[in-house]
Structure 1
Amino acid sequence: MQTVLKIGTRASQLAMAQAHEARARLMKAHDLPEQAFEIVPITTTGDRIQNRPLSEAGGKGLFTKELEEALYDRRIDIAVHSSKDMPTVLPEGLDLSTFLPREDARDSFIGKTARSIADLPQGAKVGSSSLRRQALIRRIRPDLDVVLFRGNVQTRLRKLDEGVAEATILALAGLRRLGMDHIATDVMALETFPPAPGQGAISIENRVGDEAVTRMLQPIHHVATGQALACERAFLAALDGSCRTPIAGYATVEAGGLSFKGLIITPDGTVWHEIEAQGDAASAAAIGRQAGADIRAKAGTQFFEGWF
């Protein structure tokens, strides 16, 4: 059968699982067989860099650049992403148009010697590449030794087995999509360990004005997830969020209403500011922008200048 849609994705097992989920939803929505959708794995710069933090290498765009080039070149029709990896500003001519129903947004704790972060012995090593997770770990347990932990899920688990660290923290959604959530020894509470904006949500990027593709994507777009992500991404954009900025944000939508909680924290975990906002889900982006402006005013310019 002729290919109807080429689906671009990063080549990791988790990214491929997300592309398979997008394909399955498209197959069901349009009553088309699997072979109508070609999955095109693409290795990104972010996948190749394993020896230093992304904040030093160029930030979130490292996971999207090659996929976006493939969209421009029409080698693919859509790109499937982890929403939390997406920069807040997209290249001209591209649109983050579609969001699949969100998975659990919480982080999971995976311990080799302890079942939770509270149970770790003093001075234990915890591996993470996320500045947000590093800062939140230090806020909860300033005595712990936080070490850099780059790589995909399988690489990080191998590092645990090799004794590089005694524990790590990974998104619960990713483990669930890989059928590996049983390895989580604890799930971090949203109140004490808020997620990254976009965590748990799969997003689809496509070319602006490509009407045939837009029509295919429309039936699989989850409106409530799209509204929640509009709020979270606007909050991030208002704070100039990047991989160098420890920022958390999580919005929920119910019965047309939106509730949002956001946090900014210094990398050492010693100073943080929180914000809450509510409103009509139809005004999601405006709520996020205002929350970002409010928390920036609350923290003061010195908060950002002193660290970033």
Structure 2
Amino acid sequence: MTRKIIVGSRRSQLALTQTKWVISKLQVQFPEVTFEIEEIVTKGDRILDVTLSKVGGKGLFVSEVEDALLDKRIDFAVHSMKDVPSELAAGLVIGAIPKRENPLDCLIFKTATDLENLPEGAIVGTSSLRRAAQLLHIRPDLQMKPIRGNIDTRLRKLQEEDFDAIVLAVAGLKRMDWLDKLQHPYVFLDEQTCLPAVGQGALAIECRDGDTFVQEILQTLQDDETSNAVIAERTLLKALDGGCEIPIAGYATIKNNEITLRGIVSSVDGQISHQIKESGQNPHELGLKVAQKLIDLGAKEIIQGLRNNG
């Protein structure tokens, strides 16, 4: 019997590409199911002239999508995991986390070829406080300038405006097949230079709790290693009560069933940077452990100070 499933997605080119990738994988295994995409515009998509940290609130790119799930207008939604708040709306669950794409950040230059040879006082485009703080920690002379929009918009701004470099996620560039098309020098920033955002490079497929059919088909896309890494990272974020208005980074890797989690909490100017790296086998316990060690170093004071000044 044919069944139709409505899939929610943001309207951006990257979001639609990710959603179509998920559908293509499911279609192979469930040819009897018809999938239809419903495009949803979120608050984060509507407000493009203000940095995300100033818009405030959590779930800027998912709240309207979650409303559509709860209203049963859609059956599941595909998100970039880094956009998903550490606490989901009541009644919703992550149905699957597929295998992660490259989680690193990419620094794309107008004329330079690496971070070291950017000129003194170079202008770097990023609206991410996490990226800005970590780059300023290494190069405090850099000028950080907000930049919003989809990938091609930001690349056009690099070419036409006064940016010397911009920072984009490697995962988005790869999913959009942009890396081979770049006409500018670029480098991947290793995790010692710029630790990724929590969940960066991973997808979150969200559905209603109790929707057995949808949950069962989504589980065919589940990658347990990615899931455990993301659980550790998101536990860290939740324990710190972090959001896009705080320079927090967290990235977990797994080798021989052991999870290694690095966490960073920085001041906006990058001058204060608390870093912790720990290993363990339980992702939830590891996330809590790294969070507590960061708190012991003074992370809560940084976070509270930023919230009070925001």
TM (norm. structure 1) is 0.94
In structure 2, distance between residues paired with 1:142 and 1:134: 10
State the alpha-carbon separation in 1 of the partners of residues 56 and 299 from structure 2: 26
Task: Tell me which residue corresponds to 2:24.
Answer: 24
Q: 2:265·2:299 contact (CA, 8 Å) conserved in 1?
A: no
Letter in 2 for 1:137: L
Residue matched to 1:273: 274
Give 1:11-90 correspondences, 5 Å limit. Answer: 11-30=11-30, 32=31, 36-90=34-88
The Cα of 1:301 is off from its aligned counterpart by 4.2
The superposition leaves residues 124-160 of structure 1 with CA deviations (integer Å, 9 ceiling, x where unpaired) of 1111010101111211211111101111212211211
Offset of residue 290 of structure 1: 1.7
Q: Provide structure 1 residue ranges, at least 5 long, that are not aligned to the other structure.
A: none
The residue type equivalent to 2:7 in the other structure is I
> What is the deviation of 1:251?
0.6
Change (3 A) 1:97 1:40: same
2:241 maps to a residue whose letter is: D
Give the CA deviation at 1:307: 2.9
Structure 1 residue 300 displacement after superposition: 5.6
Runs of 4+, deviation exceeding 4 Å: none
Contact 1:79–1:204 at 8 Å: present in 2 too?
yes
Query: Aligned-residue CA RMSD in angstroms?
Result: 1.6
Secondary structure at 2:207 match in 1: strand
Q: Secondary structure at the match of 1:199?
A: coil
Look up the match of 1:212.
Answer: 213
Partners of 1:54 and 1:60 within 8 A in 2:
no
Equivalent pair of 1:100/1:220 in contact (CA under 8 Å):
yes
CA 1:146–1:226: 2 relative to 1, 3 Å: same
**Is 1:259 the counterpart of 2:257 in the alignment?**
no
The CA distance in 2 between the partners of 1:164 and 1:8, in whole Å, is 37
Equivalent position of 1:238 in the other structure: 239
DSSP-derived class of the 2:111 partner: coil
Structure 2: gaps spanning 5 or more residues: none
Amino acid at match of 1:306: G
SS at match of 1:276: strand
State the percentage of identical aligned residues: 41
The whole-number CA distance in structure 2 between the counterparts of 1:152 and 1:118 is: 27
Question: What pairs up with 1:102-113 in 2 under 5 angstroms?
Answer: 102-113=100-111
The size of the alignment, in residue pairs, is 304
Give the Cα–Cα distance (whole angstroms) in 2 for the partners of residues 37 and 75 of structure 1. 13
TM-score by length of 2: 0.94
- Contact 1:29–1:220 (CA under 8 A) maintained in structure 2: no
Distance 1:58 1:264 in 2: 18
Offset of 1:248 from its aligned partner?
0.8
